[in-house]
A = this chain, B = another copy of it.
Amino acid sequence: MPLAISDPDDPRIEPYRAVRERDLVGRQHRFVAEGEVVLRLLLKQSRFRIESLLLAESRLGTLGDALDLLSPEVPIYTANRTVMDAIVGFPIHRGILAIAHRAPLPPVEELLSQMPGNALVVGLIGLANHDNVGGIFRNAAAFGVGAVLLDQETCDPLYRKAVRVSVGGALVVPFTRVASAEAMVQGLQAASFDVIALSPSGNEILSRVKPFPRTALLLGAEGPGLPPELLARTRTVSIPMSGGFDSLNVATTSGIAMHHLSGDD
Contact = CB atoms under 8 A, between A and B. Distances in A.
Interface of A: 37, 135, 138-139, 141-144, 167-169, 172, 205-207, 239-242, 245-249, 251-253, 255-256, 259-260, 264-265
Nearest to A262: B242
Contacts of A252: 135, 138-139, 251-252, 255
A264 B144 CA distance: 24
Contacts of A249: 135, 138, 251, 255
22 contacts: A37-B246, A135-B249, A138-B246, A138-B248, A138-B249, A139-B252, A141-B246, A142-B241, A142-B242, A142-B245, A143-B241, A143-B242, A144-B241, A169-B245, A240-B264, A248-B255, A249-B251, A252-B252, A252-B255, A253-B255, A256-B259, A259-B259
Contacts of A167: 246
Contacts of A251: 249, 252
Given A142-B247, A207-B264, 7 more contacts: A138-B252, A139-B248, A142-B242, A142-B248, A143-B241, A144-B241, A207-B260
